[in-house]
Amino acid sequence: CNGPEYGRPLNGTGVLRISQSASVKIGTWNVQSMYQSGKLENTMKEMKRINISILGISEMRWTGSGRQFEQDHVIYYSGDDTQHKYGVGIIVTKELNQSVKSFTPISNRIILLQIESKPANVNIFQVYAPTAQSTDEDLELFYKDLEYSVKKMKSHDITVVMGDLNAKVGEEKYKNISG
């Protein structure tokens, strides 16, 4: 993976910078598949209900990568090229979308959304890490891609890494509980 490409505008229009006084709620959710009828609509309703402007999605399961406009939201996504597995996305409100500078689909497990903001720009990485049962190669590739991409961010920007890191604490097991 080559990592993010900087300064790649989404279209020919100008980008509005989020003001310092603006309040933006950010969340993340493992939806365990957005490849089901009605799931996207329900997710956007929940965003409105709890007033979230940016929602990272893990286990989206959409194929390919791109941008899709739905109702009052814009969905940025990155998934497997052919299969409905893994996948990440970031859903933003149309208002906040005016401040999106660029998005980079890094892999089917990592996506980057860059937002113009004051006093600093914001880089949001949404991730869906492989589980402990995955191959060492898959785990290594994921963390290598993530580390490389995060290191490319400007030090004065705000960088957020969020999502499902498939982390478990401890090794003891009690029925359905780990750690």
pTM of the model: 0.80
The total domain count for the chain is 1
Residue 94 lies in a domain: yes
Residues 6+ apart with CB under 8 A from 35: 60, 61, 62, 84
Task: Say if residue 161's pLDDT is above 90.
Answer: yes
| Biggest CA pair distance of the chain | 55
Q: Tokens for 9?
A: 């505008």
Q: State the pLDDT at residue 144.
A: 96
Residue 170 lies in a domain: no
Residue 108 lies in a domain: yes
C-beta of residue 74 within 8 angstroms of C-beta of residue 68: yes
CA angle 56/35/142 to nearest 5° reads: 50
10-19, 73-82, 107-116, 151-160: which range is least confident on average? 10-19
Q: State the pLDDT at residue 146.
A: 97
Residue 175 lies in a domain: no
Residue 8 lies in a domain: no
Q: State the pLDDT at residue 178.
A: 53
Residue 51 lies in a domain: yes
pLDDT tens digit string along 52-69?
Answer: 999 999 989 898 999 999
Task: Say if residue 71's pLDDT is above 90.
Answer: no
Average pLDDT over residues 103-117: 96
Residue 14 lies in a domain: no
Share the mean pLDDT of the chain: 85
Q: Which CATH number covers residue 112?
A: 3.60.10.10
Domain that holds residue 55: 26-165
Between 45 and 170, the more confident residue is 45
Most confident stretch, 9-18, 123-132, 168-177: 123-132
Residue 178 lies in a domain: no
Q: State the pLDDT at residue 17.
A: 65
